[in-house]
């Protein structure tokens, strides 16, 4: 297994080099040279297999032997050592809860897997590794927790000022140690553009080995396949429709990759908020990124989703093939809030704003196709979002890790939306 750039102007890379590089020199994204085909035995045994074994079997071909099997199995065990319950809300809709990890968000899986891979690779290197990450909310907290205290690794997080919730901000800004947080006066797209530019900056790269922990990194992206397998492990009946709250599209891309590998899924729905570049693409076959707009589902406020190119690669840029397997919907803030109130009243279930977008897109699909059933991804705990209490009057029981966070003080460095200013800060800290 090797990895090529989606721009096809950079040399092929091994798994190790793709993880350490983060992004190819030509500013594309790494993509595997082949999509793994799952065996019938693997799929037949899925319902009875332990989660860590499923993770190991799924990821092992993509690692290509660059981490010994015993080490890789332990990495997988540590990555998925929490629950991924499938909760039935109605006769036709179930929620896959992905918020039972340490930072209460689905990003924990990719961040934990990547941090442990980097720890293994760092132990073989003398040069410090610097991890750069842009976040619209949950990624930064998961990366900060996953990498905190990892020897030989420094983490620098950029997040858009005023555009993440209070709990998300505290998760980003209270660890200290090897984690530095920059509070940028701009949008997530601005943060992402600066990180990509810094990854290609020769002077920064000459100081230390620099990589990214966004889902552009294959070690963040590929393990997100795991919980789709855990969903089907708990499912019975015909293959489900799966609705994925989508912002930067790494999560959806990994689910589609799992499906093309053999996981039985009827169809995927890209559930978007007002940032509707992909729903417009599905309607028109024209891909036109736009500046992002702020919504209550803030982690999905992405106007130029990096990972959509990986979805195009999976479908070999065949538009009819793509729209046969993928539909997309754009859900307004008003409809999102109404959905949260409706589901709480009817099901006594608290949705976060992102899960509400996923639920609504799925419910609308099933209304058009009443013989189908499906799963939506509940990607983060509702207590992480200030809007939940404002909309339905409660965010549920406060988990212990959040209660502890609320006693801590934020520590961040404010920066303007200017690459040269951020670059100076990076160079002073690296």
Catalytic positions are: 107
Instruction: For tokens 């590794």, name the residue.
Output: 129
List CB contacts of 162: < 8 A, sequence separation 6 or more. Answer: none
Spatial CB neighbours of 95, under 8 Å, sequence gap ≥ 6: 86, 87, 89, 349, 355, 359, 375, 376, 377, 378
Both structure tokens of 34: 């082949």
Whether 134 and 192 have beta carbons less than 8 Å apart is answered as yes
- CA dist 47 and 263 (Å) reads 12
Q: How far apart are CA 17 and CA 146, in angstroms?
A: 20
Helix (H, G, I), strand (E, B) or coil at 217: coil
Cα–Cα distance measured from residue 13 to residue 11, given in angstroms and rounded to the nearest whole number: 6
Could you tell me where the beta strands, DSSP code E, fall in 162-295?
179-185, 209-212, 241-245, 267-272
- Interhelix angle 107-122/138-147, rounded to 10 degrees, is 30
């Amino acid at each position: 297994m090797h990895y090529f750039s989606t721009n096809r102007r950079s040399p092929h890379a091994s798994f190790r080099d793709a993880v350490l590089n983060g992004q190819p020199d030509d500013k594309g994204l790494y993509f595997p040279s082949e999509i793994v085909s799952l065996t019938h035995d693997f799929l037949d045994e899925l319902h009875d297999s332990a989660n860590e074994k499923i993770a190991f079997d799924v990821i092992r071909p993509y690692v290509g032997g660059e981490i010994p099997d015993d080490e890789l199995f332990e990495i997988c065990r540590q990555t998925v050592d929490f629950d991924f319950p499938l909760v039935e809300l109605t006769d036709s809709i179930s929620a896959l809860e992905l918020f039972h990890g340490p930072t209460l968000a689905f990003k924990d899986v990719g961040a934990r897997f990547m941090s442990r891979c980097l720890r293994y690779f760092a132990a073989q290197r003398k040069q410090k590794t610097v991890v750069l990450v842009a976040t619209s909310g949950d990624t930064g907290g998961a990366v900060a927790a996953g990498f905190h205290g990892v020897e030989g690794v420094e983490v620098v997080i950029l997040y858009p000022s005023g555009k993440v919730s209070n709990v998300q901000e505290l998760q980003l800004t209270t660890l200290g140690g090897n984690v530095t947080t920059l509070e940028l006066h701009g949008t997530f797209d601005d943060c992402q553009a600066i990180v990509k530019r810094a990854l290609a900056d020769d002077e920064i790269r000459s100081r230390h080995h620099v990589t990214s922990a966004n889902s552009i990194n294959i070690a963040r992206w590929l393990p997100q396949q795991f919980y789709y397998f855990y969903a089907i492990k708990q499912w019975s009946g015909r293959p489900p429709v799966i609705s994925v709250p989508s912002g930067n599209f790494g999560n959806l891309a990994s689910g589609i990759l799992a499906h093309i590998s053999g996981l039985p899924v009827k169809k995927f729905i890209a559930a978007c908020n007002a940032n509707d570049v992909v729903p417009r693409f599905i309607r028109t076959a024209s891909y036109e990124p736009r500046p992002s707009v702020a919504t209550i589902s803030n982690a999905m406020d992405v106007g130029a989703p990096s990972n959509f190119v990986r979805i195009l690669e999976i479908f070999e840029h065949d538009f009819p093939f793509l729209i046969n397997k993928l539909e997309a919907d754009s859900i307004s803030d008003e409809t999102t809030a109404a959905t949260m109130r409706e589901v709480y009243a009817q099901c006594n279930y608290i949705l976060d704003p992102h899960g509400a977008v996923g639920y609504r897109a799925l419910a609308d699909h099933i209304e058009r196709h009443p013989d189908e059933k499906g799963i939506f991804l509940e990607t983060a705990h509702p207590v992480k979002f200030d809007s939940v209490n404002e909309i339905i009057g409660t965010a549920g029981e406060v988990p212990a890790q959040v209660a502890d966070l609320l006693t801590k003080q934020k520590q961040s460095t404010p920066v303007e939306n200017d690459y040269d200013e951020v670059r100076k800060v990076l160079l002073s800290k690296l």
